[in-house]
Amino acid sequence: MTIKSACLAAAVAASLTACANGDLSSLNSNALMASGGQAYKAMSLSASDVKQLSDQACQQEDKTHTVAAANSKYQQRLNRIASQLGNDINGQPVNYKVYMTKDVNAWAMANGCVRVYSGLMDMMNDDEVRGVVGHEMGHVALGHTQRAMQVAYATTAARGLAGASGNSVVASLSNSQLGALAEALVNAQFSQSQETAADDYSFDAQKKKGQNPRGLVTAFQKLAKLDNGQSSMFSSHPSSPDRAQHIEQRIANGQ
């Protein structure tokens, strides 16, 4: 292993530790300065870089999943829910699609790519889906997904998939490279404060539009029953019951 490779591996080891602890927010430029350059570049990705990488990652995910047809009951239902959520996130147009899979998940990327799994739609009513998707959109609006992309790219670079010698961090990536990047991004974990902030974003957005935010409560209650209280999409702390209680308290306080 070269000195540069060792530095890069050490830098991203710190990234992976933070991801495992569900604390993306603990990462900073100083922690990656010793990477030999590439990992630091990853943490310095601009908003434009992140959007371009998100475009590629989202396209790759669409290729590896069965996307619901435009006239399917799932896509038509999501379109109705999307009309309540809005067509943009901080001015970024949103593209909503459904993946036909029994998995229970939903995610959003910084380019406005929002994907909801049919497994989640099967177990939740419209208010609950709206609350969950609003939460994912909150991660975008609050800048959490940009940091998640930085970590995902740094992780990909450490695995030798991204060209460390390139002048630009946004380069043409192979399907395997895009697959690794997309997987790391979709499975990214957020810190406790970020998860709570995204919950509050969804709550506040619904209240502002005159919608009932109680769907967040029942969505968390349903997720708490999966995998002994930890669902695949909300596996980071605080736990689903605690998050349901937080929203219940906000409703009770009229906030």
What CA–CA distances, in Å, run from 2 to 9, 12, 35, 169?
10, 15, 12, 21
Which of 113, 184, 189 is CA-nearest to residue 155? Answer: 184
What CA–CA distances, in Å, run from 119 to 73, 74, 122, 123, 206?
13, 10, 5, 7, 23
For 106, the 3-state DSSP assignment is strand
* Catalytic hit among 61, 128, 136, 195: 136
Rounded to 5°, angle at Cα 54 from 193 and 22? 25
Q: Are 180 and 161 in contact (CB under 8 A)?
A: yes
β-bridge mates for residue 114, sequence order: 96, 108
Q: Is 136 a catalytic site residue?
A: yes
CA distance 122 to 100: 11
For 114, the 3-state DSSP assignment is strand
The residues, any chain, with a CB within 8 Å of residue 225's CB and separated by 6 or more, are none
Helix axes 175-186, 144-158, angle to 10 degrees: 130
Amino acid at 224: A
**Among all residues, which ones are annotated catalytic?**
136
